[in-house]
Amino acid sequence: MKSDLISLADHPPDILQGVLALAAELKSESRRGTGRRPLVGRTLAMIFEKPSLRTRVTFETGISQLGGGAIYLAPQDIQLGARETVGDIARNLSRWVDLIVARTFRHELLVELAREASVPVINGLTDLLHPCQVLADCQTLEERFGRLAGLKVAFIGDGNNVVNSWLNAAVAFDLDFRLACPAGYEPDARILAAARASGRGRITLVEDPREASRDADALYTDVWTSMGQEAETQARRLAFAGYQLNSQLLAVAAPHAVVMHCLPAHRGEEIAADVLDGPRSVVLEQAENRLHAQKAVMIWLNGTVRAAA
């Protein structure tokens, strides 16, 4: 039976913990120059409706390091759902390639792509979720602290796609996750309710960034205006004015706290430049770990193929 990575919530914690363990092994193998190549002859199709630096480059580099190849399909190339149906695209690609990664606006479109494809589909970000980012972030935290369970992660800002994946990660990895966001910018209500009902992890929503940051092991932020929300930029600047990750917030976190951002960042908006570029920042470790975590995801999902109907 084929498996997809649409949401971290679709997979049991032990599987996701195994993926992180594999990611750590792949990273140390690659540092020693002894990287394995289990995907020789495999092809990854990469469908992008939105821009990307990290996701595109790490998937393309990752499959090539594992012995395979990638084909990048820009929005104008296939025009998902416009030039032909999502189902037709999924069924055609499934006859040629072994894996698909897609970055879409509507989450439902990715779900449909996965349903119609007989090869594994990986979520490279949708308006709802960004699971590959948060897997790499958890790898980064595990490296730094030697464990994940019980870590206090404070996210300051918008309850967006990255936050929704953090809620799932709090369940999978038993985190103490705090979100400080203004009223009206909370995360997805269903994802929040399911995470709270899981009985795993701890989830706290507050409006005050200082309250969320107190004693935190990690302070995290992301842009106030995500891709596709550009028309709301001014309103969001006003709503998030008190939500900058800066040295005052860092001062209330634990003395060993790290600063995280999925990037791209806007210095002087959601994060102060001295904090983003300062000694506590692990943003480049996060970016590097996208490569290792996604190589682990591709190895995990490869070979889980559904028979063509």
Active site residues: 103, 130, 133, 222, 262, 290
**Nearest 10 degrees: Cα torsion 163, 207, 227, 295:** -20
Using a 10 angstrom Cβ sphere, with 0-12 exposed, 13-18 middle and 19 or more buried, the burial of residue 216 is buried
How far apart are alpha carbons 97 and 104 in whole angstroms?
Answer: 19
Q: Is 133 in the site for ligand CP (CB under 6 A)?
A: yes
Whole-angstrom distance between the N-terminal and C-terminal Cα of the chain?
A: 13
Within 75-114, which residues bind ligand CP (CB under 6 A)? none
Minimum CB separation of residue 7 from ligand NVA in Å reads 15
Q: Which is nearer to ligand NVA, 227 or 239 (CB)?
A: 227
Tell me which of ligand CP, ligand NVA, none is bound by residue 53, counting a contact when its beta carbon lies within the kind-specific cut-off of 5 to 8 angstroms: ligand CP
Minimum CB separation of residue 199 from ligand NVA in Å reads 28
The pair of structure tokens assigned to 124 is: 């490279």
Q: Which is nearer to ligand NVA, 154 or 162 (CB)?
A: 162
Minimum CB separation of residue 162 from ligand NVA in Å reads 5
The pair of structure tokens assigned to 95 is: 């006859």
Site string for ligand NVA, 244-263 (x = CB under 6 A): ------------------x-
DSSP H or E run through 71? strand 69-73
Region of 46-54, 80-88, 191-199, 203-211 interacting with ligand CP (CB under 6 A)? 46-54
Would you say 37 and 66 are in contact if contact means Cβ atoms under 8 Å apart? yes
Q: Is 161 in the site for ligand CP (CB under 6 A)?
A: no
DSSP H or E run through 16? helix 13-32
Q: Which is nearer to ligand NVA, 90 or 125 (CB)?
A: 125
Which one among 9, 114, 138, 162 touches ligand NVA, defined by CB under 6 A? 162
How far apart are alpha carbons 221 and 265 in whole angstroms?
Answer: 9
Tell me which of ligand NVA, ligand CP, none is bound by residue 164, counting a contact when its beta carbon lies within the kind-specific cut-off of 5 to 8 angstroms: none
How far apart are alpha carbons 141 and 138 in whole angstroms?
Answer: 5
Within 193-232, which residues bind ligand NVA (CB under 6 A)? 222-223, 226-227
Would you say 49 and 74 are in contact if contact means Cβ atoms under 8 Å apart? no
